[in-house]
């Protein structure tokens, strides 16, 4: 049983609904990003770009939700992760409007984002560490994907690993959420 002093210092609201919301936004991002790819591959460019902008908005939301979730683990790393995610979204959005003018690949930012999120998951005590390891591997994979030689030979494996890692984290948040007691303890300690 928790003491009244500890209960008063806890952040407002339960982290469980926010964890479920984070997982749901992650799922919505996945679905809209896949739809955007399908539309674009069928030469429905305008519709694909419109859906892609929606998926970018969802990913921006996801970056902010993860920032809030992982603040108790490490506020600075959580902020850096959010900034990397936001930067990747901005680069991707600019690429939608002018794909030939932007020499920066958003994977630079999303790879770093996955590394940071993986680190935060691993360091948290309210999510399984294996999810953190998978996200770190996905981050390394997304960054390695930027090398033309790696992309040529390993792209299928890197994409599979990235999708597996992100889907595992997303599904865990949707189905299980976070360990509320451990999240609260970590929030009080922070």
Task: Evaluate whether residue 95 is within a structural domain.
Answer: yes
pLDDT digits over 133-158, tens only? 999 999 998 898 788 787 778 878 88
Task: Evaluate whether residue 9 is within a structural domain.
Answer: no
pLDDT digits over 53-75, tens only? 999 999 999 999 999 999 999 99
CB-based contact 158:142 (threshold 8 Å): yes
* Residue 162 CB contacts under 8 Å (≥ 6 apart), including other chains: 114, 138, 141, 142
Domain that holds residue 155: 15-189
Give the number of domains in the chain. Answer: 1
Q: Which of 112, 135, 110 is nearest to 55 (CA)?
A: 110
Q: Which of 31, 27, 125 is nearest to 73 (CA)?
A: 125
Task: Evaluate whether residue 1 is within a structural domain.
Answer: no
In percent, the amount of the chain with pLDDT more than 70 equals 91
Task: Evaluate whether residue 7 is within a structural domain.
Answer: no
Task: Evaluate whether residue 84 is within a structural domain.
Answer: yes
Task: Evaluate whether residue 5 is within a structural domain.
Answer: no
**pTM score, two decimals?**
0.86
CB-based contact 117:94 (threshold 8 Å): no
């Amino acid at each position: 049983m928790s003491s009244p002093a500890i209960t008063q210092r806890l952040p407002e609201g339960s982290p469980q609904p926010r964890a479920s919301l984070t997982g749901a936004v992650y799922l919505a991002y996945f679905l809209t990003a896949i739809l955007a790819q399908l539309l674009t591959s069928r030469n429905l460019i305008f519709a694909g770009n419109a859906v892609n902008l929606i998926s970018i908005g969802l990913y921006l939301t996801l970056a902010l939700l993860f920032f809030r979730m992982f603040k108790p683990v490490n506020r600075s790393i959580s902020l850096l992760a959010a900034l990397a995610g936001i930067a990747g979204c901005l680069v991707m959005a600019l690429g939608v409007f002018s794909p030939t003018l932007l020499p920066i690949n958003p994977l630079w930012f999303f790879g770093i984002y996955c590394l940071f999120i993986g680190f935060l998951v691993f360091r948290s005590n309210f999510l399984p560490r294996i999810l953190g390891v998978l996200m770190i591997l996905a981050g390394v994979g997304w960054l390695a994907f930027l090398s033309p030689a790696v992309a040529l030979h390993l792209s299928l494996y890197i994409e599979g690993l990235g999708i597996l890692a992100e889907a595992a984290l997303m599904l865990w948040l949707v189905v299980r959420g976070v360990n509320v007691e451990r999240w609260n303890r970590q929030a009080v300690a922070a």
